[in-house]
Homo-oligomer: A and B are copies of this chain.
Amino acid sequence: MITVIITFMQKLTAQRQAILDLINASNRHWDADEVARALVDTGASIGIATVYRGLSALESQGLIDSIQLADKKRYERADKAHHDHMVCTGCGHIEEFSHDTIEALQEAAAEKKGFKLTGHQLVMFGFCRKCRQELDT
């Protein structure tokens, strides 16, 4: 096997700093378009391509996290403990949760199949408390 590893300096430019600040300022889960829109609204000048590149650069540096939903990727702050997500299919609300036992059992299940885990993603779908009530009316 031939492995080539190319490394280069990642620059934390003004645009990337702005993206990082925006994401760090809340607990929201942002898609690329929302980030671009929010930054432009504050008067910043940033192209959509720069947002996409900035988001993946920041993620590869571990400065932000992401979850891959069916249609798009969403980014969130990285300075939180590991957690998974529940997505309300009614209103889009995303709730976070973490469960050490589930994590441990996943690791054990992988090991049993000979897998060396590098990551996982657990997304649960359903109706949040609010949407659940509206369904009953």
Contact = CB atoms under 8 A, between A and B. Distances in A.
Nearest to A105: B102
A95 interface: yes
Contacts of A115: 86, 88, 95, 124, 126-129, 132
Contacts of A118: 89, 125-127
A49 interface: no
A1 interface: yes
A101 B104 CA distance: 11
Contacts of A125: 117-121
Interface string A110-122: 1011111111111
B113 A119 contact: no
A44 interface: no
A81 B4 CA distance: 42
A120 B122 contact: yes
A129 B114 contact: yes
Contact of A117 (B99, B109, B122, B126): B126
